[in-house]
Amino acid sequence: MATKMKLKLKTVFVLYFMVSLLGLVYALMQLGQRCDCTEHDLPKDRTISWLRGELNRLQEQMKKSEATRQPQKQAAKSSLPTIFVITPTYARLVQKAELTRLSQTFLHVPQLHWIVVEDSPHKTPLVTDFLMKSGLTYTHLHVPTAKDRKLQEDDPSWLKPRGVEQRNEGLRWLREDRRPQPGEGRQRGVVYFADDDNTYSLQIFEEMRSTQRVSVWPVGLVGGMKYERPVVEGGKVVRFHTGWRPSRPFPMDMAGFAVSLKLVLANPDACFDGEAPMGFLESSFLKGLVTMDELEPKADNCSKVLVWHTRTEKPKMKREEALQAQGLGSDPTVEV
């Protein structure tokens, strides 16, 4: 990165110098003046031709340099297992802000494929346009939540599981699009479920990249506690530090585990159960994939918090509503 930056700065400096020199020669030609530096007094056309030749030579050198560096960079990048991040999202005032924050974290993660699934009967213009400009490798899907499973405006967030259909739709796409073809080697990759309102350290993505079956780690600010985490003894997960129903098969948050793509593809029936009791959604997916003894502790034996279950405060729109009643509301064509 540093070498590439130095190369770019050097190129900008040389190009700037050449353009400035060409500009000076052109100005002298326009004024009908001659340079009185007699030892460098070349005919104007020869001077311009020489400068153009130097510029072309520098450009060729840059192309050759990029050609020798790019294959090495691509080879290093492609050798990494891809992290497939499935993110359910739904229309609300803070949706674009949440997706912006999340996408700008993902831009720093190499070999990441973002699967964004809208809770909608169709792809919305806001998310479509946002993803096109994100700079990320992505897949845009949509599926609406069934009416009887949808939270109402004043319902508490824990009343019904959210994002069930959307996560399952992301899994369906993976099983269809990444299904091994005859003659192909095994699929290398990791599947992670990242909600759009959580906060992620870049380190958590490097921790999960080596997942063989199911990897686990702590999650901060969740379940009414400072953190929940798997408790590790002798390199194995033996129980969970949680404040609510620790007897659940896998009492952890959605942000606290990743699954190998190979395991997902090998178990086509593994999915999230929308009818699971409160707090059992994660268990409904994991119970058919792994046992507690097979869990792979990450984040320094689950001793470091690298992801936080943050939630954005719902904006209060009282003044906006009052202005709208007077016909003075904000311009509805401005996307927020």
Closest by CA to 200, choosing from 256, 137, 242, 241, is 256
Outline where the chain has alpha helix (H).
2-31, 44-78, 95-106, 125-132, 164-177, 202-208, 261-266, 281-286, 299-302, 318-325
Please list the active-site residues: 282
d(CA 233, CA 219): 18
CA angle (324, 327, 333) in 5-degree steps: 70
Collapsed DSSP state (helix, strand, coil) of residue 122: coil
Q: Could you tell me if 220 and 242 are in contact, meaning their C-beta atoms sit under 8 angstroms apart?
A: no
167 is in an annotated binding site: yes
Exposure string for 7-45, b = 16+ CB within 10 A, e = fewer: eeeeeeeeeeeeeeeeeebeeeeeeeeeeeeeeeeeeee
186 is in an annotated binding site: no
197 is in an annotated binding site: yes
d(CA 93, CA 318): 14
Closest by CA to 196, choosing from 120, 310, 283, is 310
The identity of residue 39, as a single letter, is E
192 is in an annotated binding site: no
C-alpha 183, offset from chain centre = 31
148 is in an annotated binding site: no
310 is in an annotated binding site: yes
162 is in an annotated binding site: yes
Tokens read off for 122: 């169709």
82 is in an annotated binding site: no
Neighbour-count burial of 161, counting CB atoms closer than 10 A to its CB (0-12 exposed, 13-18 middle, 19+ buried)? buried
CA angle (271, 80, 7) in 5-degree steps: 140
Per the annotation, where are the binding residues for UDP-alpha-D-glucuronate?
88-90, 119, 162, 167, 195-197, 309-311
Per the annotation, where are the binding residues?
88-90, 119, 162, 167, 195-197, 309-311
Per the annotation, where are the binding residues for Mn(2+)?
197
